[in-house]
Chains A and B, each alone.
Chain A
Amino acid sequence: MFSIIIALVLFRILQPQEDPYYNQRLQMVQHQIENRGIKDSSTLKAMRNVKRHLFVPKGSIKYAYDDRPLPIGYGQTISQPYCVAYMTEILKPGTDHKVLEIGTGSGYQAAVLAEIVDSMFTIEIIEELGKSAKKRLKNLEYNNVQVKIEDGYYGWEAHAPFDAIVVTAASEYIPPTLIKQLKDGGRMVIPIGSPFMVQTLMLVEKKGDKITTTSLIPVRFVSFTRSK
């Protein structure tokens, strides 16, 4: 009986009290991500650490850990948790890696990658989104993330080449500049599909002069509730 009480007390002490969404996040990772086959331990750890509810609009906080994307305004969305995890795993990020993200959005994907890699660079084309993401990431002390507000088409020449590039906004073309800024042996992941649709993730690999693509699983990126 005594040991049970101690265990309970310890459990209470060890559980981070300042984060009321901790349990939801653990459940999200277990049910939506691990159970669907994501195995990379660094990805799972990052997904457990990043407080997704801080990256969604206030009106959507209650849905933050649901298995769906959410709108963040300007017709943009924060991706479904599984999708973020899947994209992260596919990139095979290493602790010494330098990663570029095109389409910062709310900054969630950048935060997840920043938990794993050495340095994270992210570019957002919509000024309002870029500014708020920059502020959010700074407040959350993601000091290895740099945010730039610019057209992602040009990549980030000053920090190129990158070990991995993640493009979070679907695009009808893959900017040649991004291919150039990808290291030999580097990996790039891009979603393909309209906001209404099931989207397909595409992996681009650069090996010498040869660039190959692999069409991966269909994933939905669309949002289902109006941005508040």
Chain B
Amino acid sequence: MRWLRHTRATGIGFILLGLVVLALSLGLEGPRHMAYGPGLFPSALGILMALAGLVVALSRNSGAPEASVDPEPAADAPPSDSQPSRDRIAAFAVFAIAPFVFAFVLPILGFLIATPVLIAILAMVSGARWPTAVATGVVSTVLLQTIFQQVMRVPLPWGLLERYAGVLTWM
């Protein structure tokens, strides 16, 4: 993931974000009776962000940043600067995408189906065997359901199990 570690690119990103914020802020019109409208503060932020981004992008050390000063890793841990394996990149992708997928399927499938499946998949890509992964998914779902829905009364989506909601509410 070395391609992610490029300070100049982040500097350029901040310049663009600053310019977008500035452009959007200039389009904001406040009430006539107010001398200082809603665009004043964000437009100042946009200008400052673009300038600071420019400084970072142009600075001499704006290539890949130094390796972070993490505590000494365990003997079996990969060196922090080494390229991760394909499995690790796949695991990273699954962990990164999982919340987006969860947000999409949660209202459709419901909490009690979406959560154990997702956690089991995450556990499997993390290296757990499938029985452990399935057990992790089921146990953690029951725990989360108990804490949030049964105790805290948070209305978690039932989805496909809507008609069984009465049976599945156990407290």
Do these two chains really belong together in a complex? no
